[in-house]
Amino acid sequence: MGWTTKDIPDLTGRVAVVTGANGGLGYETARELVRKGAHVVMAARDTAKAAQARGSILAEIPNASLELQRLDLASLDSVRQAAAEILTRHDVIDLLVNNAGVMGVPEQGTVDGFEMQLGTNHLGHFGLTALLLPALLRSPGARVIAVTSTGRHFGRPVDPANPHLHGSYGPWRAYGQSKLANVHFALELQRRLEAAGVPVQSLVVHPGFTHTDLQARSVRETEGGASQRFFHDSVQRFGMSPARGALTLLRAATDPAASGGQLYTPRYVNWGPPVQRPLFGRSRNRAAMSTLWKVSERETGITFDVAVIRDETR
Ligand SMILES: NC(=O)c1ccc[n+]([C@@H]2O[C@H](COP(=O)([O-])OP(=O)(O)OC[C@H]3O[C@@H](n4cnc5c(N)ncnc54)[C@H](OP(=O)(O)O)[C@@H]3O)[C@@H](O)[C@H]2O)c1
Protein backbone atom coordinates (compact mmCIF):
# COMPACT_ATOMS: atom_id res chain seq x y z
CA MET A 1 0.00 0.00 0.00
CA GLY A 2 2.52 2.59 1.14
CA TRP A 3 1.96 6.08 2.51
CA THR A 4 -1.17 7.87 1.26
CA THR A 5 -3.05 11.09 1.97
CA LYS A 6 -4.93 9.15 4.66
CA ASP A 7 -1.68 9.27 6.65
CA ILE A 8 -1.59 13.08 6.72
CA PRO A 9 -2.21 14.17 10.31
CA ASP A 10 -4.73 16.83 11.28
CA LEU A 11 -3.30 20.21 10.27
CA THR A 12 -5.88 22.50 11.85
CA GLY A 13 -4.27 25.80 12.83
CA ARG A 14 -1.22 25.29 10.60
CA VAL A 15 -0.26 27.89 8.01
CA ALA A 16 1.42 26.69 4.80
CA VAL A 17 2.84 28.63 1.86
CA VAL A 18 3.02 26.67 -1.41
CA THR A 19 4.75 28.15 -4.45
CA GLY A 20 3.39 27.23 -7.87
CA ALA A 21 0.09 26.26 -6.22
CA ASN A 22 -1.97 27.15 -9.29
CA GLY A 23 -1.22 23.89 -11.12
CA GLY A 24 0.49 20.49 -11.16
CA LEU A 25 2.14 19.26 -7.97
CA GLY A 26 1.68 22.54 -6.13
CA TYR A 27 -2.07 22.48 -6.70
CA GLU A 28 -2.38 18.90 -5.42
CA THR A 29 -0.22 19.71 -2.41
CA ALA A 30 -2.30 22.78 -1.54
CA ARG A 31 -5.53 20.83 -1.93
CA GLU A 32 -4.52 17.98 0.37
CA LEU A 33 -3.12 20.36 2.99
CA VAL A 34 -6.37 22.32 3.20
CA ARG A 35 -8.37 19.11 3.22
CA LYS A 36 -6.59 18.29 6.48
CA GLY A 37 -7.37 21.71 7.95
CA ALA A 38 -4.31 23.82 7.13
CA HIS A 39 -4.62 27.39 5.92
CA VAL A 40 -2.77 27.59 2.60
CA VAL A 41 -1.26 30.63 0.95
CA MET A 42 -1.32 29.79 -2.77
CA ALA A 43 1.70 31.69 -4.08
CA ALA A 44 1.49 31.91 -7.86
CA ARG A 45 2.62 33.91 -10.84
CA ASP A 46 -0.44 33.56 -13.07
CA THR A 47 -3.11 34.97 -10.79
CA ALA A 48 -6.06 34.20 -13.08
CA LYS A 49 -5.00 30.54 -13.14
CA ALA A 50 -4.57 30.73 -9.35
CA ALA A 51 -8.09 32.11 -8.86
CA GLN A 52 -9.41 29.24 -10.97
CA ALA A 53 -7.37 26.72 -8.95
CA ARG A 54 -8.70 28.17 -5.71
CA GLY A 55 -12.25 27.87 -7.11
CA SER A 56 -11.70 24.20 -8.00
CA ILE A 57 -10.45 23.40 -4.51
CA LEU A 58 -13.38 25.27 -2.93
CA ALA A 59 -15.83 23.39 -5.15
CA GLU A 60 -14.49 20.15 -3.72
CA ILE A 61 -13.73 21.32 -0.16
CA PRO A 62 -16.15 24.17 0.60
CA ASN A 63 -14.57 25.01 3.97
CA ALA A 64 -11.03 25.13 2.53
CA SER A 65 -9.02 27.98 4.01
CA LEU A 66 -7.09 29.49 1.11
CA GLU A 67 -5.60 32.79 0.13
CA LEU A 68 -3.91 33.90 -3.06
CA GLN A 69 -0.53 35.61 -3.19
CA ARG A 70 1.02 36.89 -6.38
CA LEU A 71 4.61 35.69 -6.65
CA ASP A 72 6.91 35.74 -9.65
CA LEU A 73 10.06 33.91 -8.65
CA ALA A 74 11.78 35.31 -11.74
CA SER A 75 11.72 38.79 -10.20
CA LEU A 76 13.40 39.64 -6.90
CA ASP A 77 11.10 42.65 -6.51
CA SER A 78 8.14 40.30 -6.71
CA VAL A 79 9.76 37.90 -4.23
CA ARG A 80 10.36 40.76 -1.78
CA GLN A 81 6.86 42.11 -2.22
CA ALA A 82 5.25 38.69 -1.83
CA ALA A 83 7.25 37.94 1.33
CA ALA A 84 6.36 41.34 2.82
CA GLU A 85 2.68 40.85 2.06
CA ILE A 86 2.62 37.34 3.49
CA LEU A 87 4.38 38.55 6.64
CA THR A 88 1.83 41.32 7.19
CA ARG A 89 -0.89 38.67 7.27
CA HIS A 90 0.99 35.87 9.05
CA ASP A 91 3.29 36.14 12.08
CA VAL A 92 3.75 32.39 12.03
CA ILE A 93 4.31 30.06 9.09
CA ASP A 94 4.49 26.32 9.75
CA LEU A 95 5.31 25.06 6.28
CA LEU A 96 6.98 26.49 3.19
CA VAL A 97 6.82 24.29 0.09
CA ASN A 98 9.26 25.66 -2.50
CA ASN A 99 7.68 23.78 -5.38
CA ALA A 100 7.41 26.09 -8.42
CA GLY A 101 9.73 25.44 -11.30
CA VAL A 102 10.46 25.40 -15.00
CA MET A 103 12.31 22.71 -16.95
CA GLY A 104 14.33 22.46 -20.15
CA VAL A 105 13.41 25.90 -21.46
CA PRO A 106 15.50 27.94 -23.95
CA GLU A 107 18.10 30.38 -22.67
CA GLN A 108 16.42 33.44 -21.23
CA GLY A 109 16.94 35.82 -18.35
CA THR A 110 14.87 36.69 -15.32
CA VAL A 111 14.00 40.32 -14.56
CA ASP A 112 17.27 40.51 -12.63
CA GLY A 113 19.30 38.95 -15.45
CA PHE A 114 19.66 35.49 -13.89
CA GLU A 115 19.55 32.36 -16.03
CA MET A 116 15.84 31.48 -15.92
CA GLN A 117 16.01 27.95 -14.46
CA LEU A 118 18.50 28.79 -11.70
CA GLY A 119 16.67 32.07 -11.10
CA THR A 120 13.20 30.54 -10.79
CA ASN A 121 13.93 27.13 -9.35
CA HIS A 122 16.61 28.15 -6.87
CA LEU A 123 17.45 31.85 -6.45
CA GLY A 124 13.83 33.02 -6.12
CA HIS A 125 13.18 30.34 -3.51
CA PHE A 126 16.43 31.16 -1.71
CA GLY A 127 15.27 34.77 -1.32
CA LEU A 128 11.73 33.81 -0.38
CA THR A 129 12.94 31.40 2.32
CA ALA A 130 15.33 33.97 3.80
CA LEU A 131 12.62 36.61 3.94
CA LEU A 132 9.98 34.28 5.42
CA LEU A 133 12.35 32.74 7.99
CA PRO A 134 11.24 35.03 10.85
CA ALA A 135 7.70 33.62 10.59
CA LEU A 136 8.99 30.04 10.22
CA LEU A 137 11.05 30.53 13.39
CA ARG A 138 7.91 31.44 15.35
CA SER A 139 6.39 28.02 14.63
CA PRO A 140 7.14 25.28 17.15
CA GLY A 141 8.33 22.99 14.34
CA ALA A 142 8.24 24.48 10.87
CA ARG A 143 9.39 22.70 7.73
CA VAL A 144 10.83 23.97 4.46
CA ILE A 145 10.50 21.61 1.50
CA ALA A 146 12.69 21.85 -1.59
CA VAL A 147 11.69 20.03 -4.79
CA THR A 148 14.48 18.45 -6.80
CA SER A 149 14.43 15.93 -9.67
CA THR A 150 16.49 13.08 -11.12
CA GLY A 151 18.07 16.00 -13.02
CA ARG A 152 20.23 16.46 -9.90
CA HIS A 153 22.25 13.42 -10.99
CA PHE A 154 23.50 15.10 -14.17
CA GLY A 155 23.57 18.64 -12.75
CA ARG A 156 26.90 20.29 -11.98
CA PRO A 157 27.47 22.44 -8.92
CA VAL A 158 27.11 26.15 -9.51
CA ASP A 159 30.33 27.72 -10.78
CA PRO A 160 30.76 31.01 -8.88
CA ALA A 161 32.49 32.50 -11.93
CA ASN A 162 29.57 31.68 -14.25
CA PRO A 163 26.38 30.67 -12.39
CA HIS A 164 24.21 31.81 -15.31
CA LEU A 165 26.02 29.64 -17.85
CA HIS A 166 26.92 32.48 -20.22
CA GLY A 167 28.39 30.93 -23.35
CA SER A 168 27.78 27.38 -22.14
CA TYR A 169 23.99 27.22 -21.84
CA GLY A 170 22.07 24.06 -22.52
CA PRO A 171 18.44 23.62 -21.40
CA TRP A 172 19.18 20.33 -19.59
CA ARG A 173 22.49 21.51 -18.23
CA ALA A 174 20.68 24.49 -16.68
CA TYR A 175 17.86 22.32 -15.34
CA GLY A 176 20.34 19.87 -13.80
CA GLN A 177 22.29 22.71 -12.21
CA SER A 178 19.12 24.20 -10.73
CA LYS A 179 17.86 20.85 -9.40
CA LEU A 180 21.23 20.01 -7.82
CA ALA A 181 21.09 23.51 -6.31
CA ASN A 182 17.70 22.60 -4.78
CA VAL A 183 19.34 19.67 -2.94
CA HIS A 184 22.39 21.64 -1.89
CA PHE A 185 20.25 24.52 -0.64
CA ALA A 186 18.02 22.15 1.38
CA LEU A 187 20.97 20.40 3.03
CA GLU A 188 22.96 23.55 3.71
CA LEU A 189 19.86 25.19 5.16
CA GLN A 190 19.36 22.19 7.44
CA ARG A 191 22.98 22.38 8.58
CA ARG A 192 22.65 26.10 9.35
CA LEU A 193 19.31 25.67 11.14
CA GLU A 194 20.83 22.96 13.32
CA ALA A 195 23.90 25.07 14.02
CA ALA A 196 21.65 27.94 15.12
CA GLY A 197 19.70 25.56 17.39
CA VAL A 198 16.29 26.44 15.93
CA PRO A 199 13.41 24.00 15.41
CA VAL A 200 12.85 24.62 11.68
CA GLN A 201 13.65 21.60 9.49
CA SER A 202 14.63 21.53 5.83
CA LEU A 203 13.83 18.49 3.65
CA VAL A 204 14.05 17.72 -0.03
CA VAL A 205 11.86 15.62 -2.33
CA HIS A 206 11.96 14.25 -5.83
CA PRO A 207 8.31 13.77 -6.85
CA GLY A 208 8.91 11.18 -9.57
CA PHE A 209 7.88 11.19 -13.22
CA THR A 210 4.57 12.99 -13.10
CA HIS A 211 2.29 14.18 -15.84
CA THR A 212 1.87 17.91 -15.23
CA ASP A 213 2.30 21.01 -17.38
CA LEU A 214 6.08 20.90 -16.79
CA GLN A 215 6.85 18.81 -19.85
CA ALA A 216 4.22 20.51 -22.07
CA ARG A 217 5.59 23.94 -21.18
CA SER A 218 9.11 22.89 -22.13
CA VAL A 219 7.79 21.80 -25.55
CA ARG A 220 5.87 25.07 -26.00
CA GLU A 221 8.79 27.23 -24.98
CA THR A 222 11.31 25.43 -27.18
CA GLU A 223 8.75 25.36 -30.02
CA GLY A 224 8.90 21.60 -30.20
CA GLY A 225 12.43 20.74 -29.01
CA ALA A 226 13.20 17.04 -29.66
CA SER A 227 14.27 16.00 -26.14
CA GLN A 228 11.45 18.08 -24.64
CA ARG A 229 8.97 16.25 -26.91
CA PHE A 230 10.43 12.91 -25.88
CA PHE A 231 9.76 13.62 -22.20
CA HIS A 232 6.33 15.02 -22.99
CA ASP A 233 5.33 11.93 -24.99
CA SER A 234 6.76 9.60 -22.34
CA VAL A 235 5.10 11.28 -19.40
CA GLN A 236 1.69 11.05 -21.06
CA ARG A 237 2.15 7.30 -21.35
CA PHE A 238 4.16 6.42 -18.28
CA GLY A 239 3.88 9.33 -15.87
CA MET A 240 2.13 9.27 -12.52
CA SER A 241 -0.89 11.49 -11.94
CA PRO A 242 -0.20 14.81 -10.19
CA ALA A 243 -2.05 13.48 -7.14
CA ARG A 244 0.37 10.52 -6.93
CA GLY A 245 3.41 12.67 -7.56
CA ALA A 246 2.42 15.12 -4.84
CA LEU A 247 2.54 12.36 -2.21
CA THR A 248 6.31 12.82 -1.80
CA LEU A 249 5.85 16.52 -1.09
CA LEU A 250 2.99 15.80 1.29
CA ARG A 251 4.89 13.11 3.16
CA ALA A 252 8.00 15.26 3.64
CA ALA A 253 5.77 18.15 4.69
CA THR A 254 3.55 16.33 7.18
CA ASP A 255 4.79 12.90 8.26
CA PRO A 256 5.72 13.24 11.96
CA ALA A 257 8.51 10.69 11.37
CA ALA A 258 10.19 12.77 8.64
CA SER A 259 13.04 14.98 9.71
CA GLY A 260 15.44 17.64 8.50
CA GLY A 261 18.08 16.70 5.95
CA GLN A 262 16.07 13.79 4.55
CA LEU A 263 15.19 13.05 0.93
CA TYR A 264 11.81 11.59 -0.03
CA THR A 265 11.27 10.03 -3.46
CA PRO A 266 8.93 7.45 -5.00
CA ARG A 267 9.92 3.89 -4.01
CA TYR A 268 11.01 2.96 -7.56
CA VAL A 269 12.98 6.14 -8.41
CA ASN A 270 10.25 7.70 -10.57
CA TRP A 271 7.18 5.70 -9.61
CA GLY A 272 5.55 4.39 -6.49
CA PRO A 273 4.64 5.48 -3.00
CA PRO A 274 6.81 8.03 -1.21
CA VAL A 275 9.69 6.69 0.85
CA GLN A 276 12.81 8.10 2.44
CA ARG A 277 15.96 7.49 0.40
CA PRO A 278 19.64 8.16 1.06
CA LEU A 279 21.44 11.03 -0.60
CA PHE A 280 24.65 10.14 -2.34
CA GLY A 281 27.29 11.34 -4.81
CA ARG A 282 27.33 14.98 -5.80
CA SER A 283 24.18 15.62 -3.75
CA ARG A 284 26.39 15.42 -0.65
CA ASN A 285 29.17 17.73 -1.88
CA ARG A 286 29.65 19.97 1.18
CA ALA A 287 32.00 22.41 -0.52
CA ALA A 288 29.47 22.94 -3.32
CA MET A 289 26.74 23.62 -0.75
CA SER A 290 28.65 26.36 0.95
CA THR A 291 29.71 27.86 -2.40
CA LEU A 292 26.08 27.86 -3.54
CA TRP A 293 25.05 29.73 -0.40
CA LYS A 294 27.66 32.45 -0.99
CA VAL A 295 26.78 32.74 -4.69
CA SER A 296 23.06 32.93 -3.85
CA GLU A 297 23.64 35.75 -1.35
CA ARG A 298 25.84 37.58 -3.83
CA GLU A 299 23.43 37.23 -6.76
CA THR A 300 20.24 38.08 -4.86
CA GLY A 301 21.78 40.66 -2.54
CA ILE A 302 19.84 38.96 0.26
CA THR A 303 21.96 38.08 3.29
CA PHE A 304 20.72 34.79 4.70
CA ASP A 305 22.28 34.40 8.14
CA VAL A 306 20.09 32.05 10.17
CA ALA A 307 21.63 33.01 13.53
CA VAL A 308 21.21 36.74 12.88
CA ILE A 309 17.59 36.27 11.77
CA ARG A 310 17.01 34.11 14.88
CA ASP A 311 18.37 36.87 17.13
CA GLU A 312 16.29 39.54 15.40
CA THR A 313 13.08 37.51 15.57
CA ARG A 314 10.83 37.81 18.55
N1 LIG B 1 6.44 16.62 -13.11
C2 LIG B 1 7.56 15.92 -12.96
O3 LIG B 1 7.73 14.84 -13.54
C4 LIG B 1 8.64 16.42 -12.05
C5 LIG B 1 9.75 15.60 -11.79
C6 LIG B 1 10.76 16.06 -10.97
C7 LIG B 1 10.65 17.31 -10.39
N8 LIG B 1 9.57 18.11 -10.66
C9 LIG B 1 9.52 19.43 -10.03
O10 LIG B 1 8.25 19.65 -9.48
C11 LIG B 1 8.01 21.05 -9.38
C12 LIG B 1 6.59 21.36 -9.82
O13 LIG B 1 6.46 21.09 -11.20
P14 LIG B 1 5.15 20.48 -11.85
O15 LIG B 1 5.52 19.15 -12.37
O16 LIG B 1 3.97 20.61 -10.96
O17 LIG B 1 5.02 21.45 -13.13
P18 LIG B 1 3.89 22.48 -13.57
O19 LIG B 1 2.57 21.83 -13.64
O20 LIG B 1 4.43 23.12 -14.81
O21 LIG B 1 3.89 23.53 -12.40
C22 LIG B 1 4.95 24.43 -12.23
C23 LIG B 1 4.50 25.55 -11.36
O24 LIG B 1 5.57 26.49 -11.22
C25 LIG B 1 5.06 27.76 -11.46
N26 LIG B 1 6.06 28.70 -11.93
C27 LIG B 1 6.85 28.61 -13.02
N28 LIG B 1 7.61 29.72 -13.13
C29 LIG B 1 7.29 30.52 -12.09
C30 LIG B 1 7.71 31.78 -11.65
N31 LIG B 1 8.61 32.52 -12.32
N32 LIG B 1 7.18 32.29 -10.52
C33 LIG B 1 6.25 31.61 -9.83
N34 LIG B 1 5.78 30.41 -10.20
C35 LIG B 1 6.30 29.88 -11.32
C36 LIG B 1 3.95 27.59 -12.48
O37 LIG B 1 3.09 28.69 -12.42
P38 LIG B 1 2.51 29.46 -13.74
O39 LIG B 1 1.62 28.50 -14.42
O40 LIG B 1 1.79 30.65 -13.17
O41 LIG B 1 3.70 29.82 -14.55
C42 LIG B 1 3.30 26.31 -11.95
O43 LIG B 1 2.41 26.60 -10.91
C44 LIG B 1 9.11 21.72 -10.20
O45 LIG B 1 10.07 22.27 -9.32
C46 LIG B 1 9.72 20.58 -11.00
O47 LIG B 1 11.08 20.79 -11.29
C48 LIG B 1 8.56 17.68 -11.45
Task: State whether the beta carbon of 11 lies less than 6 angstroms from ligand 1.
Answer: no
The Cα 78–Cα 208 span in angstroms is 29
Q: Report which ligand 1 atom has the smallest distance to the Cα of 74.
A: 31
Q: What b/e string do you get for 44-78 counting C-beta neighbours within 10 Å, with b at 16 or more?
A: bbeeeebeebbeebeeeeeebebebbebbbbbbeb
Strand intervals (E) in the chain: 15-19, 39-44, 65-70, 95-98, 143-147, 201-205, 263-268, 271-277
Quote the ligand 1 centre to 219 CA distance (angstroms).
14
Distances (CA, A) of 16 to 8, 96, 180, 248: 14, 6, 24, 16
Active-site amino acid positions: 175, 179
- Residue 314 has a pLDDT of 74
- Residue 1 has a pLDDT of 75
Distances (CA, A) of 118 to 58, 78, 137, 225, 264: 33, 16, 26, 20, 22
The Cα 298–Cα 151 span in angstroms is 25
Comparing CA positions, the residue from 313, 293, 310 lying closest to residue 302 is 293
Amino acid at 314: R
Q: Report which ligand 1 atom has the smallest distance to the Cα of 214.
A: 20
167 and 106 Cβ atoms separated by less than 8 Å? no
The Cα 9–Cα 105 span in angstroms is 37
- Residue 79 has a pLDDT of 98
Task: State whether the beta carbon of 46 lies less than 6 angstroms from ligand 1.
Answer: yes
Task: State whether the beta carbon of 152 lies less than 6 angstroms from ligand 1.
Answer: no
Among 112, 172, 212, say which to mutate for ligand 1: greatest number of ligand atoms within 8 Å of CB: 212
Task: State whether the beta carbon of 44 lies less than 6 angstroms from ligand 1.
Answer: yes
Amino acid at 229: R
Whole-prediction pTM: 0.98
Could you read off the pLDDT tens digit of each residue along the chain, which spans 314 residues?
Answer: 799 999 999 999 999 999 999 999 999 999 999 999 999 999 999 999 999 999 999 999 999 999 999 999 999 999 999 999 999 999 999 999 999 999 999 999 999 999 999 999 999 999 999 999 999 999 999 999 999 999 999 999 999 999 999 999 999 999 999 999 999 999 999 999 999 999 999 999 999 999 999 999 999 999 999 999 999 999 999 999 999 999 999 999 999 999 999 999 999 999 999 999 999 999 999 999 999 999 999 999 999 999 999 999 97
